[in-house]
Amino acid sequence: MARMIDRSAPLPHLHFHIMSTMPITDAAQVLHLAQPLPLDGGQSLADVRIAYETHGTLNAAKDNAILICHALTGDHHVVSNHPRTGKPGWWVRMVGPGKPIDTDRFFVICANVIGSCMGSTGPASPAADGRPWGMRFPVITIRDMVRGHVALLDALGIDSLHAVVGGSMGGMQALSLAANFAERTRAALVIASTARHSAQNIAFHEVGRQAIMADPQWRDGDYYAHGKGPEKGLSVARMAAHITYLSEAGLTEKFGRRLQDREEKTFGFDADFQIESYLRYQGLAFTDRFDANSYLYITRAMDYFDLAEEHGGLLANAFAGSQARFCLVSFDTDWLYPTADSRNVVHALNAAGLPVSFVELSAPFGHDSFLLDVPALDRVVEGFLGESGQNA
């Protein structure tokens, strides 16, 4: 365990500069780590770049910063338009002036996780030999991603966050940061997430990974010189995963058994049903914006996530050093990270004696509810973040 504790130490002597050549929008910046980033797998990663976006103003005391952690296929474009799709940022409904995460009041940071393909160092980035890392990229963990975030906080001169916030995989990072870098945040808001991946979670990810690896275009991950790579495999992976983000009731309401642009079934294997057409579109669109190898690495990191295991098997121990306030939110139709997963964290926080709030919200959209129009979530987020800590 001593090895782990050493890695938790902040990285010294970092400098950062703005990379004007990055093909991303104005708000985005890139931090170049001067020191190698130590990894849970035993290796370390040199020449790490972390792409991030900030909104609002850091106050003189540097105590009004909120770190937002993104989900599996998300990125740091939390409110700015996506550079490839042109679509609005993934949480514009939650973040901005006067919004629940109020950029008039808070300095909001969102960083792309390492392993991703949106600006931070990942398998598509060049390795020391100038060629893309591909499968030579080390397997990373959620805690490794958080080490990248902490290096960014160091560079920005932020000792302690007002809060760390995340949904889904972002919630895992929020938990990991609050547990492993306890002094770096005064609050953690964890939405539709879990402290460990279940067998079912791992199973769905494995289907996705096998779909990618079964695609001949994958070429053992060394496809970058050969066009777009394993599009078919990545598309199938996204289709399978997308089902887990929605609810059965939501699918029935949106698509039912309705046919796609036709009056009758074709007795063939075209996309007769609207749901088939929708999934095929979602899968294909995903290949335009995401790297297949990044998908392999990030899903692996999520599968490896078990916060209790990192701390001797008892989740309450993970939070022994924390003095933060916590808020957990689940959704009644989320079967990917069901309410029981959030309750498990709540019970551990209770046992650790930490101030924790928890609510299961009712929303029809399944796991994706955290990204969608759920006014009750807005109220909880605004209320929790608006308080600067009491109960002292």
Partner 1 sequence: MLRPDLAVIAAHVAPGSRVLDVGCGDGTLMQALRDKRCDTRGMEIDAENVGICVGKGLSVIQGDADSDLAFYPDQSVDYAILSQTLQTTMRPDLVLDELLRIGRRAFVSFPNFAHWRVRLSLLWRGRMPVTRLLPVAWYETPNIHHLTVGDFRELVRSRGIRAEGAWFLSGDRQCSAAAANFRAEHAVFLLSRE
Question: What residues make contact with partner 1 under the rule CB under 8 A?
Answer: 325, 327, 346-347, 350-351, 353, 355-362, 376, 379-380, 382-384, 386-387, 390-392
> Least distance in Å: CB of 187 to partner 1?
11
Rounded to 5°, the CA angle 288-147-355 comes to 105
Contact (CB, 8 A) for 23 and 83: yes
* Closer by beta carbon to partner 1, 280 or else 347: 347
Q: How far apart are CA 287 and CA 231, in angstroms?
A: 6
Residue whose CB is less far from partner 1, 23 or 98: 98
Could you tell me the CA-to-CA distances from 182 to 37, 160, 334 in Å, in that order?
Answer: 19, 9, 28
Would you say how long the chain is, in residues? 392
Residue nearer to partner 1 on the CB measure, 247 or 299: 247
Cα–Cα–Cα angle for 374, 97, 85, rounded to 5 degrees: 70
Q: Measured from the CB of residue 351, what is the shortest distance to partner 1 in angstroms? A: 6
Cβ-contact 156, 109 below 8 angstroms: yes
Closest contact distance (angstroms) between CB of 385 and partner 1 is 10
CB of 340 to partner 1, least distance (A): 12
Measured from the CB atom, the residue of 359 and 372 that comes closer to partner 1 is 359
Considering the complex, what minimum distance in angstroms separates the CB of residue 100 from partner 1? 11
Report the Cα–Cα distance between both ends of the chain, in Å, rounded.
32
Identity of the residue, 190 or 239, whose beta carbon is nearer to partner 1 in the bound complex: 190
How far apart are CB 345 and partner 1 at their closest, in Å? Answer: 11
SS3 content of the chain, % helix, strand, coil (to 5): 40, 15, 45
Contact 68, 78 (CB under 8 A): yes
Is 342 in the active site?
no
Alpha-helical (H) ranges within the chain are 2-8, 142-156, 169-180, 199-214, 231-245, 248-254, 274-289, 292-304, 307-310, 315-318, 339-351, 375-386
Q: Find where tokens 């190698």 sit.
A: 36
Which of 80, 116, 120, 168 is flagged as catalytic? 168
Residue 144: active-site member: no
Find the catalytic residue in 144, 215, 334, 341: 334
Report the residue number, 33 or 381, with the smaller CB distance to partner 1. Answer: 381
Q: Give me the residue label for tokens 């009644």.
A: 332
Q: Which member of 77, 367, 368, 369 is catalytic? A: 367
- Residues with Cβ within 8 Å of residue 184, at least 6 apart in sequence: 150, 153, 159, 160, 161, 177
Q: Is 194 left (phi over 0), alpha (psi -120 to 50) or beta?
A: beta
Q: State the Cα–Cα distance between residues 136 and 124, nearest whole angstrom.
A: 10
Residue 21 token pair: 């050549």
Instruction: Confirm whether 367 is a catalytic residue.
Output: yes
CB closer to partner 1 out of 46 and 320: 320
Report the alpha-carbon distance of residue 384 to residue 108 in Å, rounded: 15
Cα gap 164→188, rounded to integer Å: 5
Q: Supply the minimum distance, in Å, between the C-beta of residue 110 and partner 1.
A: 23
* Cβ distance to partner 1 smaller for residue 21 or 390: 390
Residue 245 CB, shortest distance to partner 1, in Å, is 22
Among all residues, which ones are annotated catalytic? 168, 334, 367
